[in-house]
Amino acid sequence: MLLAAREAEKGTWIDRLVETCPRERYRSTDRAVTDRFRLAQLLAQQVVFELETTRLQYERLRLQQRFVSETDAGNDEELSDELAQSADCIEEKRAVFIRLYTAYYDYHEFSKTVLDVELESWLALHPQGSSVLETVSEIVTDRQELKQAEDWFESLYPDPRITLDESASGRCLVLTTPWEAATATIP
């Protein structure tokens, strides 16, 4: 009818049809909420991927160090190439541990301060999130590994104001800045 009134150029008909047209209220999910949720899911995928690949790298180095140490333990010769490799492996393993440690605690801080949820809840959005988080947590809370990493970190950064924990908390901006930029465009 509205099209017929418009075709007949009957302005009063159009006005009357618009005034008497039934009004409905429609309900739907808030797009801003769903967009933020999708962004949190995508970020969780990225975090799980980073934690898992870093953990696997750490495990490879740990096993390599153990293998070289065990095969060289029965050898009474002078410092062998394998032992030199083991020393390099120890350094690399500590560097990877520090990367895993700082990422883990950075993501804890991000999830609490920005997303306002526990890291476990956030990463549960990913199918392997909980299991990855559990294995990474076991590694980064190992007292012996942590002590060795702290000692090594202090030898690299003798300034007492720069600690391993400070390094971890400083990385939170790595996720916060892109999160804020992305959510600023969501209506």
- Residue 21 in any domain: the answer is no
- Residue 26 in any domain: the answer is no
135-139 LR contacts (CB < 8 Å, sep 24+): 135/55, 136/51, 136/52, 136/55, 136/100, 136/104, 137/104, 139/55, 139/58, 139/97, 139/100
Number of domains in the chain: 1
H helices of the chain, where? 2-7, 11-20, 31-73, 81-110, 119-123, 129-140, 143-156, 164-170, 172-184
Q: How many residues does the chain have?
A: 187
pLDDT by 10-residue block (mean), the chain, 187 residues: 65 74 81 88 94 96 78 55 65 90 92 93 95 96 88 81 75 79 84
- Residue 146 in any domain: the answer is yes
- Residue 163 in any domain: the answer is yes
Domain, as residue range, for 95: 42-184
Distance in angstroms (rounded) separating the CA atoms of residues 155 and 139: 22
- Residue 29 in any domain: the answer is no
Using only the alpha carbons of the chain, give its radius of gyration.
Answer: 28
- The CA-based angle 44-49-50, given to 5 degrees, is 100
Q: What are phi and psi of 53, to 5 degrees?
A: -65, -35
- Residue 9 in any domain: the answer is no
Retrieve residue 170's tokens: 């400083």
Residue type, 84: A
Residue identified by tokens 């409905």 is 24
- The CA-based angle 62-131-102, given to 5 degrees, is 55
Query: What is this structure's pTM?
Result: 0.75
- Residue 13 in any domain: the answer is no
Nearest to 113 by CA among 179, 47, 51, 165: 179
Q: Is the dihedral of CA 121, 122, 126, 130 positive or negative?
A: negative
- Residue 11 in any domain: the answer is no
